[in-house]
Chains A and B, each alone.
Chain A
Amino acid sequence: MSVVDYQLGRTPGPPTRERVEVDPITLRVLGGGFHAIAKEMAGVLFRMSYSSIIRESEDLGAGIFDAQGRELCESDSTPMHIGSLPWYIRGFLDRLEGEIEEGDVIFHNHPYLGASHTPDIAIAVPIFWEGELLGFAAVTAHVLDVGGSFPGINADAFDVYAESKIYNAMRWYRAGELNEDLDKMIFDNVRTETMNRGDCNAMMAACQLGRDRFLRLIKRYGVETVMSSAYDWMDYSENMLRREIAKIPDGEYTAPTAWLDDDARTRGRRLRVETKVVVEGDSITIDVSGSEAEVPTGFNVPFEGSLLVGAYYAVRTLLLDEVTFPEHVPQNDGVFRPVKVIAPKGTIFNPNFPRACFSRFCQVQRVVDNTIIALADQLPQQVTASNSAAIHFCSYSGFVPDTGEYWLYLEVNEGSYGGRYGKDGMDCVDNLMANTRNNPIEELDLRFPMRCDQYELRPEPAAPGKWRGGVGVIRRNRFMVDGTYSCEGDRQWDPPQGIFGGWTGLPASVHKNPGTPSEEYLEAKVTGIPFKAGEYVEFREPNAGGYGDPLEREPRMVREDVLDDFTTIELARDAYGVIFVDERDLEIDEEATRKRREELRASRDGASLSLNDRFRREKGQLLPSSSPASVAANKAFGLT
């Protein structure tokens, strides 16, 4: 494999195709047309696919790219996929440049050649027009299993060979002909053949549809007009982003060190994440130098397909927020251009081949979160307090002798957003770069030997602030048959910080069989833990940080929070300084509140306060949470 010589992060530079002038209406029509193609490709993929991680969670990306991988458009699916496909394409071109033929279907997942990580397989179909390779229709999607050491998730793999089968620029179809031996090789070596086949077929269909739709645009508007419009739109997006970057004063802005739980093997050894944001004119650099050295597990980050994507996301979202920024700026190659990333070779953010790098999401999320915090003083009305910035991505599986295959369920457990200027943080939602959909409980229980016992806001209150932090989820899932559980997660030790006087929130926690004699705390990253039929796992996801001094929150809003169980009467008194006349009607005692607030202001020594001091898991301070379904099932399975 040509990995050692491969030059990471090399972009093709400005497009060289000669451009024609495009009238403004056609330009707008084609801009909309590109977006519609990507959206339609994604729609085909999730409606036609078999596994719930694609079908329900929409863990996928789809788009059209030029022959050098410049992105024309990408679907609004989940941001972790958006912007990775250009690198997959450049990665497979390293081997296939000049050899691609009409009718090829390319299969690629090499994490040192552009892939986001090995289970996110890319399938690409070339688009030819009058003999010229114009570009690619391509999709990425998370497939259930890629034949690593354990079913589904491999946070603790020895190297890339152990985490997955590696597909480096494979032609699944060659000039329209199925490569039969390769086909067998691919699907014989995964645990979930039927699902993978169905999903890969859907991915190919989505690409073919994207190609056909794009060719239709070309037939109608002409190849020069279409390609020129594509490049004009890239310039537009680039200019819009550069204008916003230029508004930030030049300088270096550093986030406080963030700590990741561990590398999935050496427990208790926290991993350092450093983030410096450098603004120079209309360019911005995210520099993660000083972060932890690469680890001997799967907890490293592919530089191109994951870290770069995270940096693009962080900058675009902060500066061209789709709600607060008035213009709609399409997502394409243009928004990548002003962003540079520095990650020294040999760190977890730029590991050396053949280090495993299966589990990279939580690290990238922390870089995004750090980027936001680093710019807090410059952009106080655009940032959030610290977010959950982690996920618990889990695999539940077991072998089914009748079919000779595994059942395998992948789940993304959501987080919460930090408080924001003028707004509370969002509760129980996929955070930052995660934007999957949850798998319906009724889908889970009907299709898998699993049962969800509980799914609601966790019982601990929100982190106080002038604008409170979001509340994370509590979820309990039970195995109905013997099986295996693996997870890549994080943030069970370092809680999300508050900003501008807001309180720090709560970290996540995972327990096996909580409330039973066999209760056990689980670290966030575990691999291949056996579960017996009837055993279950409980997640509590982080409550994100608060924004601003809680003493400035309107007492009326604090009362609403108490009514809706987002905070407690005790915290109303201790954090917000709000006193009620009585506990039933919750009438605000204005005078007592004024006095209490004065008192609290006077007694504070400027130290920032933390919800985690009151609800510390290690001290058994998490609140109990009632779930009759759990109680009944514990009894039925004799867990009590």
Chain B
Amino acid sequence: MKRLGVDVGGTFTDLIYVDDEAGKVLIHKLPSTPDDPSRGTIEGIKQLAEQAGTTPSELDQVFHGTTIATNIVIEHNGAKVGMLTTEGYRDILHIARHKKPLNFSNYQDLPWQRYPLVRRRYRLPVPERVTGEGEVIVPLDEERAREQIRKLKEAGVEAVAVCFLFSFINDAHEKRVAEILREEFPEAFLSVSSEVLPQYREYERFSTVALNAFVGPKVATYVRRLEDELRALNVRTGVHLMTSASGVATAQGAIDRPVNLLMSGPVAGVVGGIWVGAQAGYDSVITLDVGGTSADIGLAQNGTLRMKHLLDTHVGPYNAMIPMVDVDTIGAGGGSIAYVDGGGIFRSGPRSAGAQPGPAAYDRGGTEPTATDAMVNLGWLLPEDFLGGAMSLRADLARKAFEGVAGQLGMSVEEASMGAIQIASSSMVQSIEEASVRKGYDPRDFALVAEGGAGPLFAAAIAAEVGTPTVIVPPYPGVTAAMGLLATDAVYEYVATTYQRVSELNAQALQSRFEELEAQALAQLQDDGVPSDRCVIQRVADCRYLGQGYELRVDCPSGAIDEAWVAKVSADFHDAHEREYSRRFEESDIEIPNIRVRGIGMMPPLQTPAIEQGDVSPEQGLRHEREAFFRIDGELRQVPTRYYAREALKAGNRVQGPAVINQFDSTTVVPPGFTAEIDRFGNIVITIDALAASQVVGAAEQAAGA
């Protein structure tokens, strides 16, 4: 197969091309085009296809991961959203679950009140009410709905969420209001709760549906444009997108439910990190993917993705009740802007210079000091040899950008630059600790995989502080997420609500629901051109003891639903319950609120070629020797530093820090006292020496105390 993965971040668009039969792997990278991200995507696909000596029409698969939706939430720059909701329940989004995020704080913010997805003035009530039995006790007041829609239109909202109580049982009122919306306000993006998430618990549903509206207009515009342009290039299978659960969405699926893409890019990064770790011989990895705007932190023990519990599925501070891989995103990256706040506190991020205008040193009009500028000032990034010489930097602009904050703080430009990097690093350290030690995982059992253009710049110092003994920098760190797209099977998941009880099972109804879902899954895989011997269909039942509120997923056998089938599912559920909660209740009835079918298109395993073997000395790769600033024993010192070209390094080479390894899509910093070795697949494996680590950690603590 000829496969192409494209991962669009806030700053760069990364691509990978694999021809499984020919054993060919190519990568490519170009700046993202945030005003219209599809431009960068399409341009990248064309360029890479050309490099590969093929045409887009030859591609068997185009798989896409994107942070577009995530960044909208993090930067809170989504659509102006209006909401039509049942009168008498206007503030479900404002009250949330009436629980504070923190127990011991009178000064916390409730993010859903301080930064609402829908402002109260745009949450307009409509008389209607359906009961838990689906009975209408207050008929829909269509005239009021129409008036409210006109008000929203007049106020200039771009997207409208329709959120009525019990619409997952009776969706007639929501459907009717959606029709009126299409008549009155066809240009608005529509997010209807019974379509987006027909599940109970009103706050979680409304929040998910509001998020869907918040990211919807931008995501829909993007995906539509992308789909159109790919069609113009004769790409046969269209575009497929990675979902938050590491499954697949079609373009139409993504447009209808953009909320499923919220963790698309970050999840691909974790999948890619697992693949990198396995190749380098490490099954348990913590992934640190740092781009221009944000950093994503994931953790996989023994190569297994962790899913979040449906009650813990948040994007930023907002609840989104959708299946999601456990990955944390924070606003810290190469483009994070350093500033001194009103109270005199030195901060970095979450505001980012992104790709446009980008760091000051990019000379695209940015004047604010970013982490990248800080690294130029410290000498880690060489202006004439950035991204393997693909781009040049203006050191004078980087310095100028930092003069302001340095002056405010009464520091030198170098000290302020080092401070900005340490502040950005410490937020990543905290997030890693949240994912590991705070959940009882010992970071000493894990390798840290440094991904993204900026991950390898930060990783060694972070590993030293967190306590992971090894850092792996894959051959193409900037495209790890893109690789993740091609390192996984294509998984579609279909859900149906059933509310069946095992004691009074309607086997026929269940069977036909399963068959409907299976037919959908199979049709989708065939539509994607997956050969039938590579299609796998799996059944899943969400089960709980009658009376419980939360379900466990149980894999079910295919075939007829008979006594043996029921016995097997019941036994497997009792076992699953015991594994999860250490107890089983065989005398209890079991309820099946939902069933699911997974359609899996098996992809060939991703393989990359080994690199040339060399000896210990990396001399052949040495390109420059300069002075650069590092913190040593708590002091900022200028020391002789070696700069290597990554593509010239061979397996077995050992690089002694302080050193910088430059390449086309990333830059790796090996701080003083650390040693890096190149493995046979070209991974840089940095060993965290305890003594060197104590120097770095000591420095960080000193800096924090200062």
A residues at B contact (CB < 8 Å): 25, 28-29, 31-33, 35-37, 40, 43-44, 47-50, 52, 55-56, 58, 76, 78-79, 82, 194-195, 198, 201-202, 204-205, 208-209, 212-213, 313, 316-318, 320-324, 331, 372, 382-384, 412, 414, 417, 420, 423, 426-430, 435-438, 440-443, 445-446, 451, 453-457, 473, 476, 563-566, 626-633, 636
> In the assembled complex, which residues on chain B have CB atoms less than 8 Å from the CB atom of A632?
129, 137-138
Q: Known contacts A318-B106, A423-B109, A629-B137; is A55 also within 8 Å of B549 by CB?
A: yes
A514 to chain B, nearest CB (A): 14
In the complex, what distance in Å separates the CA atom of A626 from the CA atom of B200?
A: 25
In the complex, what distance in Å separates the CA atom of A563 from the CA atom of B120?
A: 8
In the complex, what distance in Å separates the CA atom of A213 from the CA atom of B439?
A: 12
Say whether B549 contacts A420, CB under 8 Å: no
> In the assembled complex, which residues on chain A have CB atoms less than 8 Å from the CB atom of B132?
442, 445-446, 451
Q: Known contacts A32-B433, A205-B583, A317-B106; is A627 also within 8 Å of B98 by CB?
A: no
B408 at the interface (CB under 8 A from A): no
The 6 closest A-B pairs by CB, nearest first: A32-B437, A36-B440, A445-B132, A564-B120, A627-B88, A437-B97
- The listed residue (B88, B437, B550) touching A455 by CB distance below 8 A is B88
- The listed residue (A47, A195, A440, A626) touching B88 by CB distance below 8 A is A626
- The listed residue (A36, A208, A426) touching B100 by CB distance below 8 A is A426
**Contact code string B75-93 (vs A, CB < 8 Å = 1, else 0):** 0000000000011111110
A-B contact pairs, 24 of them (CB 8 A): A25-B444, A32-B437, A32-B438, A43-B309, A47-B581, A52-B549, A209-B581, A317-B103, A320-B104, A321-B106, A324-B107, A331-B104, A423-B109, A427-B95, A427-B110, A429-B99, A429-B110, A443-B549, A446-B132, A446-B200, A456-B92, A457-B90, A457-B94, A629-B88
- The listed residue (A31, A322, A429, A454) touching B89 by CB distance below 8 A is A454
Say whether B165 contacts A317, CB under 8 Å: no
In the complex, what distance in Å separates the CA atom of A364 from the CA atom of B94?
A: 27
In the complex, what distance in Å separates the CA atom of A499 from the CA atom of B316?
A: 34
- The listed residue (A438, A565, A626, A629) touching B95 by CB distance below 8 A is A438
Say whether A438 contacts B89, CB under 8 Å: no
Say whether A627 contacts B94, CB under 8 Å: no
**Given A201-B585, A382-B107, A436-B98, 11 additional A-B pairs, CB 8 A:** A76-B103, A198-B547, A208-B582, A317-B103, A321-B105, A429-B95, A430-B99, A443-B200, A455-B92, A628-B141, A629-B86
Say whether A442 contacts B165, CB under 8 Å: yes
- The listed residue (B137, B436, B550) touching A636 by CB distance below 8 A is B137
Say whether A44 contacts B581, CB under 8 Å: yes
Say whether A441 contacts B439, CB under 8 Å: no
Q: Known contacts A317-B104, A321-B104; is A201 also within 8 Å of B583 by CB?
A: yes
Say whether A456 contacts B137, CB under 8 Å: no
> In the assembled complex, which residues on chain A have CB atoms less than 8 Å from the CB atom of B129?
628-629, 632
B150 to chain A, nearest CB (A): 15
Say whether B550 contacts A47, CB under 8 Å: yes
- The listed residue (A36, A426, A437) touching B439 by CB distance below 8 A is A36
A308 to chain B, nearest CB (A): 16
A26 to chain B, nearest CB (A): 9
B467 at the interface (CB under 8 A from A): yes
**Contact code string B130-171 (vs A, CB < 8 Å = 1, else 0):** 011000011001000000000000000000000001100000
Closest to A194 in B: B547
Say whether B88 contacts A456, CB under 8 Å: yes
In the complex, what distance in Å separates the CA atom of A345 from the CA atom of B634?
A: 56
In the complex, what distance in Å separates the CA atom of A37 from the CA atom of B438?
A: 9
Say whether B440 contacts A453, CB under 8 Å: no
B568 at the interface (CB under 8 A from A): no
> In the assembled complex, which residues on chain A have CB atoms less than 8 Å from the CB atom of B442?
29
Say whether B581 contacts A50, CB under 8 Å: no
B202 at the interface (CB under 8 A from A): yes
B119 at the interface (CB under 8 A from A): yes
Say whether B98 contacts A438, CB under 8 Å: yes
- The listed residue (A33, A430, A457, A566) touching B440 by CB distance below 8 A is A33
B350 at the interface (CB under 8 A from A): no
B503 at the interface (CB under 8 A from A): no
Say whether B107 contacts A323, CB under 8 Å: yes
Q: Known contacts A442-B165, A445-B132, A445-B166; is A37 also within 8 Å of B440 by CB?
A: yes
> In the assembled complex, which residues on chain A have CB atoms less than 8 Å from the CB atom of B203?
440
B374 to chain A, nearest CB (A): 22
> In the assembled complex, which residues on chain A have CB atoms less than 8 Å from the CB atom of B120?
564-566
In the complex, what distance in Å separates the CA atom of A318 from the CA atom of B100?
A: 16
> In the assembled complex, which residues on chain A have CB atoms less than 8 Å from the CB atom of B550?
47, 55
Closest to B438 in A: A32
Say whether B95 contacts A455, CB under 8 Å: yes
Closest to B205 in A: A442
B445 to chain A, nearest CB (A): 10
B201 at the interface (CB under 8 A from A): yes
Closest to A381 in B: B107
Q: Known contacts A33-B440, A36-B439, A628-B87; is A437 also within 8 Å of B99 by CB?
A: yes
In the complex, what distance in Å separates the CA atom of A565 from the CA atom of B103?
A: 28
In the complex, what distance in Å separates the CA atom of A5 from the CA atom of B88?
A: 54
List residues of B (634-668) whose CB comes within 8 Å of A's CBs: none
Say whether A628 contacts B138, CB under 8 Å: yes
Say whether A629 contacts B113, CB under 8 Å: no
In the complex, what distance in Å separates the CA atom of A430 from the CA atom of B129?
A: 27
Say whether B202 contacts A442, CB under 8 Å: yes
Closest to A562 in B: B121
Say whether B103 contacts A435, CB under 8 Å: yes
A402 to chain B, nearest CB (A): 16
Closest to A30 in B: B437
> In the assembled complex, which residues on chain B have CB atoms less than 8 Å from the CB atom of A48?
548, 581, 583
> In the assembled complex, which residues on chain A have CB atoms less than 8 Å from the CB atom of B88?
453-456, 476, 626-630
In the complex, what distance in Å separates the CA atom of A36 from the CA atom of B438?
A: 6
Q: By CB atoms of chain A within 10 A, which of B103, B128, B581 has the most?
A: B103
> In the assembled complex, which residues on chain A have CB atoms less than 8 Å from the CB atom of B105?
317, 321-324
Closest to B433 in A: A32
> In the assembled complex, which residues on chain A have CB atoms less than 8 Å from the CB atom of B439?
32, 36
List residues of B (529-548) whose CB comes within 8 Å of A's CBs: 547-548
Closest to A52 in B: B549
In the complex, what distance in Å separates the CA atom of A56 from the CA atom of B202?
A: 13
Closest to A442 in B: B200
In the complex, what distance in Å separates the CA atom of A603 from the CA atom of B167?
A: 54
Say whether A423 contacts B201, CB under 8 Å: no
B127 at the interface (CB under 8 A from A): yes
B108 at the interface (CB under 8 A from A): yes
**Contact code string B611-643 (vs A, CB < 8 Å = 1, else 0):** 000000000000000000000000000000000
In the complex, what distance in Å separates the CA atom of A409 from the CA atom of B580?
A: 27
B102 at the interface (CB under 8 A from A): yes
Say whether A442 contacts B437, CB under 8 Å: no
In the complex, what distance in Å separates the CA atom of A201 from the CA atom of B547?
A: 14
B86 to chain A, nearest CB (A): 8
Say whether A428 contacts B103, CB under 8 Å: no
Closest to B116 in A: A564
A498 to chain B, nearest CB (A): 16
Say whether B104 contacts A79, CB under 8 Å: yes
B200 to chain A, nearest CB (A): 5
In the complex, what distance in Å separates the CA atom of A441 from the CA atom of B234?
A: 50
In the complex, what distance in Å separates the CA atom of A420 from the CA atom of B166?
A: 37
In the complex, what distance in Å separates the CA atom of A470 from the CA atom of B121?
A: 17
Say whether A626 contacts B106, CB under 8 Å: no
In the complex, what distance in Å separates the CA atom of A457 from the CA atom of B98?
A: 12
Closest to A217 in B: B440
- The listed residue (B107, B127, B437) touching A628 by CB distance below 8 A is B127
> In the assembled complex, which residues on chain B have CB atoms less than 8 Å from the CB atom of A25?
444, 467
Closest to A55 in B: B549
> In the assembled complex, which residues on chain A have CB atoms less than 8 Å from the CB atom of B582?
44, 205, 208-209, 212
> In the assembled complex, which residues on chain A have CB atoms less than 8 Å from the CB atom of B138?
628-629, 631-632
Say whether A322 contacts B549, CB under 8 Å: no
In the complex, what distance in Å separates the CA atom of A470 from the CA atom of B104?
A: 18
A62 to chain B, nearest CB (A): 13
- The listed residue (A213, A323, A453, A456) touching B102 by CB distance below 8 A is A323
